[in-house]
Chain A
Amino acid sequence: MLLSGFHIPQEPHRQVKKRRIFHGIFPPAASASLPTPVVTPVGSFNENTPLYPPSAQASPFPHGQAFSNAEGEAFVTHSRAWHLATSFLSFPDSPFDVSEEESTVLGVQKDGIYLRRKADLCRSETREAIAYLMTSGANAVPGENLVEWYTCEVRRHFLEYIRPMLDEAERDIATKVRPEHQLSDIISQLRVTCKIYYSVYSTYLLPYIAKVDPIASVEPFHRSLASIIAYCLPSSFPSLLRKTFYAYFTIILSLPSSHSAVTDVGLFTSPHIPGADETVHSTDVDLELEDDEKAAVDQEEANRRREEARNAVFKLVESLNAIGLMANGVGEREFAVVIDRVAGEWVSHRFCGRYTDSDLDVADADGDTSMAKLSASAASAEIMKEWLDGSLSPLVRSIMKIIHPGDPDDELPPLLSRLAHRLARVRIKEMFDIIVDFPASMPGIMDLIPTLNTPIARLVLTSTFAYTLHRRLLHQGASTVNILRAYINMIKCFQILDAKGVLLDRVGARVRRYLATREDTVVEIVKGILCYEYDEEEADERNDNSAISAEKSDSMDSASTFKEHIRRRKVIDAEVDEEDEEDILKEISTELQACAQMGADKKNETLGAAAAASLEDLDFDDMEWQPDPSDAGPEYRRDKGTDIISHLFTMLESTKFINEFQNQLGKRLLLQPTSEFLREKATIELLKVRFGENEMQNAAVMLKDLSESRKTDAHLRDTTYSKQIARTLASNGILDDLTEIHLKVISRLFWPQHMISEGDFKLPPNIADTVELFNHEFETYKKSRKLNWLNEEGFAVVELELSDRAYRYKQVPTYAATLIHTFGEPPDRPPADIPKELNGGQVGNAWSKDQLTEKLSMNAELLRKSLDYWIERNILTEYPLDRNIYYVMETLPRNDIPASRRTTPHTTPMKRDEQQSTYMTPRRRRALSFVSESSTDTDGEEAGTRKEEPTPAKPDADEEDPVTNPKFMMAWNYISGMLTNQGPMTTDRIFNTLSLFLIPMGGLQFDAAELDQFMMKIEENGRVDKTPAGWKMRK
């Protein structure tokens, strides 16, 4: 009877066996464990089977033993139970409707529609079937098959129905603007799905497993679900997540980008509360707020947004955690990335471009004024620490707590040092600006120091900096002065960063190589060294100018006075500005002084050290020896001078430098009215320390010449002055204002030759007279020497009185002074056709070029230069109708005459003359007066200032002529032969040569020092000269 329930009793038995074997080898795959096909007479099993009593209809397993009797029965029961359980547990062939699942329940976490419907469907027989399958039946481990099947079913459902939805959400990205909205779609879909999966699992399956092994029971299912989700996530999910995290964190931490990106902060504070949107727009209502109130409201609004963002982030993290994407998953990874990025951004936002003390303080507008008290070096570290403790750490901590609830609090990664590295990266990028701003940018440098402890960090610094150097400094657009200035700062900065100089060596080499290619490097450095100004005089000049103009302006119409005054001031000022215009490397001279002061006590020590340094590597007893730093470049030298000046000087060829130094020193010495030159003296002494006594000898002689000249000048002027007065009185009886002459006497051989210009011209008569007198006096003062005047060098003080203006020029070149003196009087044959007035300006004396050449016997080039000098200063001008004629602008032309009416070479000047002659001032003032001309000069054409020509009688009369000394008598013959034929020779060379020739004849009776003394005596005696190349026969 019972058997009739089974159509073929043997077969199921075999089948079960077969299946067991099969399953023993191959675990049931998802496809194999689909619910029993519908073809199986489920309906008949449930309702129409006559074989079962009604009670059996309610439950297929009323009597356990009924099944246990035979294996066939067991199989039937099992498959029926399987069918029941699987068809109940299986999911519909469609994704879950998110809105339905979530929105039905308001605020309370409760099952969604699906689950409730499922719960409704769950009848007692289903429950029993599940219980049967879970606790007993044909399974080796009770329940395993069903759990496995369920896992597979979840997987199948997810892959078939949820995955396409996720993919679709990804495809929608183009249409949906906000990353957080997309993210929200994906996450809610996942959340709902997961929730259903879990609920079903925990409601129907878990209770049975939990009895066996409560912990292990959830884990495999959970893992499988998490992996399938992770596998199916859209490829854009990580970036979506990153964007969203980033958006929220910028708001929470008030980073600058949070203002631009409007992020929907309310999104993840789900479930959506109808009406929640209104609060966001609440500020729209209060439009008529006062400004400060508005600010307060804004602040409040910002706070509110921050709070909402914070909530949203927590919510997001929680929901991610719930679907297994946070801990150890994509969520945590993206979270870490974003935190790092945000921290980096904060650092660049907070510190970028702010490397000076004041910048750092100003930046604390947010309220932490305590920073101001901190020392520079600690400031940025403190700011970072404060921010970390105040803002970032709490946030990270609370999120970490959600992710890993069990972890202890203090396990945070070393964020501070990461920030410090971020900061260093920022600083490295702006290293160039830091260097340009150097002393002020000290805090920026201090930021770098702690992180520069690995070779890689140092390499990054140097290579980045080298790149910046190339881009910003070492190109045609940068002036040499700027490059030098940057180089000086660079040296200072890198010395702070790295005392051993390895880094400087690496980056400095480029600059040095580049500077070496620039022609004017030497010039600028020397200019810098010699740049101190004599300020008092300039100030005087200014006062003088204004005094004169004030005096003058009294005599003029008050109406035009002001205008004229302004104009005049403008001219005068312009001249002063012109002098200040040049960009000079004042730093160098300051550095030179500073180094000298610092190094004064160490000087001997360092000199000794430098000498020892070359031997250092060979000194095996040196217990202090250390190898070069490992990252030192090939050109690295430990013993290299460490001060700035030596860096600069070693870059130059010393001969080049010394020549340039002499040139500029010479120019300077001749142009300065004073003879003191204390600064120059000091500078030369300092340079001697670096270049050696011999190299600076010429410069020292130049200075000595100047101080000698002061004495000579004083003496000569004393003696000539009285004579001059006497002579003037005798000649015309009037004591005219005498032109004062000062002279500077230079030694030709020691001055740069090109400076001693050969240009000659006739001096103004009164000056020429005085010069004559000087010559005479000099010859009596210094026997056997005579002055040779260099007319072109030197300068004069010139005062000009014109009809409408007066000037006092302090440093007029002598040739220009001579020229303007000539214009003080009209020429013998005034050029014809010169109007009295031109373009509203009164015309003074006019000379043609030829007349000037004739009068001054000046060469054309010099004449041109002189004319240009005064034309530039608006004193002289070219006569428009005849380019060869120049005239004095007695009054400046009126600016208000339109250009069209100005005299041009095409209009006739005669008419204009007649019309306007009535405006002329009746009497022409004396146009010019030489107040004084200090003619410096020096002479030196052929024999230098001292053209030391021994007067013929002198040397013979000398009672102790060294040549008569028997010791040297024969030697002198050889010496003179040598010097005559072989040119100048040093004492050493003379000595060597002599010893070669004289040893066969009895040897030398003197040593080199004696020879040197002898040569010196001979020099005094006037037979030889000392030149830089050695002794030279005098002609």
Chain B
Amino acid sequence: MSVSSASMPAAPAGASVTNVTKRLQKELMQLMMSPSPGVSAFPDDPSNLLKWTGTIAGPDGTYFEGKNFKLSFAFPADYPLQPPTVLFKTPMFHPNVDMAGRICLDILKDKWSAVYNIQSILLSLQSLLGEPNNKSPLNGQAAQLWDEDPKEYRRLLEKRHQEE
């Protein structure tokens, strides 16, 4: 890390990157030391901590039971002041997730606070899987089928879902 920051000529940016990496390193350690069941995350590249991949196991008792979902995290240079960009990499069929994997979740947008961290984001997303906000759907079909036609929902989810 020190190497990468030293090689950065722009001093202000370099300082903030150092702060971000420090913070992220700490978060990683927390995640590793006290993992929460069903969620996990890890940096893509040890030399660049701004990109992570996370995994959520579908909560029991939901349509997503038994399935794993991959997420990508992209942290801005001023994290944790700004929220990371989180996308579903595994194809998803969910009322609050669009076909490109973008997520509609308030804490990732206007309700973001610096006290949230990766673990809390993962847990929020896990609970979002079981309890979607059908009032503001990104995927109207999913929102409609969620309650009306579980069988069709399951079929479409199955069709879309594919793990690596």
A binds B: yes
Cβ B32 vs Cβ A981 within 8 A: no
- Which among A478-486, A953-961, A993-1001 touches the partner chain? A993-1001
CA distance A103 to B102 in the complex (A): 121
Using CB atoms, name the residue of chain B closest to A978: B42
Cβ B42 vs Cβ A977 within 8 A: yes
Could you tell me which residues of chain A, from 997 to 1035, have a CB within 8 Å of some CB in chain B?
997, 1000-1001, 1035
Cβ A970 vs Cβ B70 within 8 A: no
Cβ A977 vs Cβ B25 within 8 A: no
Cβ B40 vs Cβ A993 within 8 A: no
Chain B 37-68 interface 0/1 with A at a Cβ cutoff of 8 Å (1 = within): 00011101011000011110000000000001
Could you tell me which residues of chain A, from 377 to 418, have a CB within 8 Å of some CB in chain B?
none
Residues of B within 8 A of A992 (CB): 46
Q: Given A973-B32, A997-B28, does the pair A982, B46 have CB atoms closer than 8 Å?
A: no
Q: Given A973-B33, A973-B35, A997-B46, does the pair A981, B70 have CB atoms closer than 8 Å?
A: yes
Q: Given A982-B53, A983-B164, A997-B28, does the pair A977, B46 have CB atoms closer than 8 Å?
A: no
Q: Given A970-B32, A974-B32, A1001-B29, does the pair A981, B46 have CB atoms closer than 8 Å?
A: no
Q: Does A980 contact B (CB under 8 A)?
A: yes
Cβ B46 vs Cβ A993 within 8 A: yes
Residues of A within 8 A of B31 (CB): 977
Cβ B55 vs Cβ A981 within 8 A: yes
Residues of B within 8 A of A283 (CB): none
Q: Given A997-B28, A1035-B68, does the pair A981, B54 have CB atoms closer than 8 Å?
A: yes
Cβ A1000 vs Cβ B25 within 8 A: yes
Contact of B42 among A981, A1000, A1001, A1035 (CB under 8 A): A981
Cβ B53 vs Cβ A981 within 8 A: yes
Cβ A982 vs Cβ B44 within 8 A: yes
Using CB atoms, name the residue of chain B closest to A976: B40
CB distance from B18 to the nearest CB of A (A): 14
Residues of A within 8 A of B35 (CB): 973, 976-977
CB distance from A964 to the nearest CB of B (A): 16
CA distance A992 to B28 in the complex (A): 17
Using CB atoms, name the residue of chain A closest to B46: A996
CB distance from A599 to the nearest CB of B (A): 42
CB distance from A1030 to the nearest CB of B (A): 13
Cβ A980 vs Cβ B29 within 8 A: no
Contact of A977 among B40, B68, B70 (CB under 8 A): B40
Residues of B within 8 A of A977 (CB): 31-32, 35, 40-42
CA distance A981 to B163 in the complex (A): 12
Residues of B within 8 A of A1000 (CB): 25
CB distance from B71 to the nearest CB of A (A): 9
CB distance from A966 to the nearest CB of B (A): 14
CB distance from A708 to the nearest CB of B (A): 29
Residues of A within 8 A of B44 (CB): 982
CB distance from B86 to the nearest CB of A (A): 13
Cβ A970 vs Cβ B33 within 8 A: yes
Could you tell me which residues of chain A, from 511 to 547, have a CB within 8 Å of some CB in chain B?
none
Select the residue from B28, B42, B52, B70 with max chain A CB neighbours within 10 A: B42
CB distance from B14 to the nearest CB of A (A): 19
CA distance A549 to B9 in the complex (A): 90
Residues of A within 8 A of B70 (CB): 981
Contact of A980 among B25, B33, B40, B47 (CB under 8 A): B40
Cβ A981 vs Cβ B25 within 8 A: no
**How many of B's residues come within 8 Å of A, CB to CB?**
20
Residues of B within 8 A of A981 (CB): 40-42, 52-55, 70
Residues of B within 8 A of A970 (CB): 32-33
Could you tell me which residues of chain B, from 58 to 116, have a CB within 8 Å of some CB in chain A?
68, 70
Select the residue from B33, B46, B52, B70 with max chain A CB neighbours within 10 A: B46
Using CB atoms, name the residue of chain A closest to B73: A981
Select the residue from A980, A983, A997 with max chain B CB neighbours within 10 A: A980
Select the residue from A977, A982, A992 with max chain B CB neighbours within 10 A: A977
Chain A 751-794 interface 0/1 with B at a Cβ cutoff of 8 Å (1 = within): 00000000000000000000000000000000000000000000
CB distance from B73 to the nearest CB of A (A): 10
CB distance from A431 to the nearest CB of B (A): 55
Residues of A within 8 A of B54 (CB): 981
Using CB atoms, name the residue of chain A closest to B68: A1035
CB distance from A750 to the nearest CB of B (A): 18
Cβ A980 vs Cβ B46 within 8 A: no
Using CB atoms, name the residue of chain B closest to A994: B46
Could you tell me which residues of chain A, from 979 to 994, have a CB within 8 Å of some CB in chain B?
980-983, 992-993
Using CB atoms, name the residue of chain A closest to B28: A997
CA distance A981 to B57 in the complex (A): 12
Residues of A within 8 A of B33 (CB): 970, 973
Using CB atoms, name the residue of chain B closest to A996: B46
Q: Given A1000-B25, A1035-B68, does the pair A980, B32 have CB atoms closer than 8 Å?
A: no
CA distance A996 to B28 in the complex (A): 13
CB distance from A967 to the nearest CB of B (A): 16
CB distance from B103 to the nearest CB of A (A): 17
CA distance A976 to B41 in the complex (A): 10
CA distance A1001 to B46 in the complex (A): 15
CB distance from A758 to the nearest CB of B (A): 15
CB distance from B26 to the nearest CB of A (A): 11
CA distance A996 to B52 in the complex (A): 16
Could you tell me which residues of chain B, from 4 to 42, have a CB within 8 Å of some CB in chain A?
25, 28-29, 31-33, 35, 40-42
CB distance from A334 to the nearest CB of B (A): 85
Residues of A within 8 A of B52 (CB): 981
CA distance A980 to B39 in the complex (A): 10
CB distance from B122 to the nearest CB of A (A): 11
CB distance from B89 to the nearest CB of A (A): 10
CA distance A765 to B44 in the complex (A): 52
CA distance A983 to B31 in the complex (A): 18
CB distance from A29 to the nearest CB of B (A): 104
CA distance A983 to B89 in the complex (A): 13
CB distance from B157 to the nearest CB of A (A): 18
CA distance A981 to B56 in the complex (A): 10
Residues of A within 8 A of B46 (CB): 992-993, 996-997
CA distance A980 to B69 in the complex (A): 11
CB distance from B84 to the nearest CB of A (A): 15
Residues of A within 8 A of B32 (CB): 970, 973-974, 977
CA distance A982 to B45 in the complex (A): 9
Could you tell me which residues of chain B, from 92 to 144, have a CB within 8 Å of some CB in chain A?
none
CA distance A1000 to B26 in the complex (A): 11
Residues of B within 8 A of A1001 (CB): 29
Residues of B within 8 A of A978 (CB): 42
CB distance from B60 to the nearest CB of A (A): 15
CB distance from A65 to the nearest CB of B (A): 133
CA distance A157 to B162 in the complex (A): 111
CA distance A262 to B41 in the complex (A): 100
Using CB atoms, name the residue of chain A closest to B163: A1035
Could you tell me which residues of chain A, from 620 to 639, have a CB within 8 Å of some CB in chain B?
none
CA distance A997 to B47 in the complex (A): 10
Residues of B within 8 A of A974 (CB): 32, 42
CA distance A1035 to B33 in the complex (A): 21
CA distance A409 to B47 in the complex (A): 92
CB distance from B66 to the nearest CB of A (A): 9
Residues of A within 8 A of B68 (CB): 1035
CB distance from A456 to the nearest CB of B (A): 60
Residues of A within 8 A of B164 (CB): 983
Residues of B within 8 A of A996 (CB): 46-47
A residues adjacent to B (C-beta < 8 A): 970, 973-974, 976-978, 980-983, 992-993, 996-997, 1000-1001, 1035
| Listed A/B pairs (13) with beta-carbon separation below 8 Å | A973-B35, A974-B32, A974-B42, A977-B31, A977-B40, A977-B41, A981-B40, A981-B41, A981-B42, A981-B53, A983-B164, A997-B46, A1035-B68
Q: Which 6 A-B pairs have the closest CB atoms?
A: A996-B46, A981-B42, A981-B53, A973-B32, A977-B42, A980-B40
**12 other A-B residue contacts (CB within 8 Å) besides A981-B42, A981-B53:** A977-B32, A977-B42, A980-B40, A981-B52, A981-B55, A981-B70, A982-B53, A983-B164, A992-B46, A996-B46, A997-B25, A1035-B68
